[in-house]
Amino acid sequence: MNTSEDHGIAVWVQIARAHSRILNQVEQALRQAGLKPLGWYDVLLELDRAEEVGLRPYELEEKLLLRQYGVSRLVDRIEKAGYLKRVACADDGRGQKLIITKRGKLARQKMWPVYRGVIEETLGRKLSNTETADLATLLEKLTM
């Protein structure tokens, strides 16, 4: 029987499959280009957006597009690579802010064309501009 519930489940399955497939393609493309994993890009993007103000670790977690269960370990690895630095919070001596370094900005800038290329390949070549706009509108309704 074709109920709205059946359609909803079918849509959910397709969204999950598309999401997984595209993320896997991005990860593979980054790896082939000799770049860091997508999770690194996500962290660096948010820190780049925060500019010199930086983000506290909990603020970073709230902003991440990708779910990161080991954010503190990921941040440690990114810091060790020299892509971010920790500075003491002016308003909380025990707290710290994470700030992207010049090296981190360069790494993110190198990753973006690869990431963008996969997005264009998987969406731009398979959907028309109208279909892409319609899909964006429909998906936006799910995030409101």
31-59 pLDDT, tens digit per residue, is 999 999 999 999 999 999 999 999 998 89
Q: Does position 67 have pLDDT exceeding 70, yes or no?
A: no
pLDDT bin (cut points 50, 70, 90) of residue 134 is very high
> If you search the block for the tokens 């977690």, which residue do you land on?
61
Average model confidence (pLDDT) across the chain: 90
Q: Can you tell me the mean pLDDT for 64-88?
A: 87
Q: What domains, with CATH codes, occur in the chain?
A: 4-142 (1.10.10.10)
Cβ-based burial of 120 (10 A; exposed 0-12, middle 13-18, buried ≥19) = exposed
97-109 pLDDT, tens digit per residue, is 999 999 999 999 9
Q: Does position 133 have pLDDT exceeding 70, yes or no?
A: yes
